[in-house]
Structure 1
């Protein structure tokens, strides 16, 4: 479960810890590097891919289907903007309403990371939703 602290006066961000599978950490570092982010920019990378993921029409369903094996995760610290925090709260409400499943912030962020890693590996099942450029001839 993600833990969010109250922002400091004049700060537009919230500090948190999210739980991600231990085996995902190396893939996150690799994807960040390929995208031009360094290790100190982990929060920025997570923010950017999560904001992109939340634009997907199937985000609530993917979040509802997200599954994690208990005891297989590691906590990592992140700082997220208040804007993203608000969007995460909104999608969690949608998941509750549309899918009748309660999820937490970590589930939203893990799902965003998973979908980003799958898209990078060409393994995402709904390419229309990936927000990646489509090459000529695809979908014809």
Structure 2
């Protein structure tokens, strides 16, 4: 199975999730959702950066899976996630993100950024504000 996203926790409390460009399948999309939830296992404050620079458009089915994941994990995110930054330069991907949030509201502060550096600065501010 080719990964839909790679998740790097080596700089925690900042978690970097990078979409690989692979097309979403039921298997790789569920793995991405499971790995994202695993980031909360230690129940410590964190902030996430989703780099969608190379993201492929997920199917409507997978968009709904993402929305359901947000709904199921709202409390977890509210308790531990200080903020989420999305690095998205592609207008179509931005539209998909807005569609996902129309299915299910994002439960924590978020910002859509054009560059990684902007996302890094923003999540650091969120972490500092919650310290």
**Relative to total residues, which structure has the larger strand share, 1 or 2?**
2
Decide: shared fold, TM above 0.5. no
- Specify which structure has the bigger relative contact order, considering alpha-carbon pairs within 8 angstroms and separated by 6 or more residues: 1
Structure showing greater radius of gyration is: 1
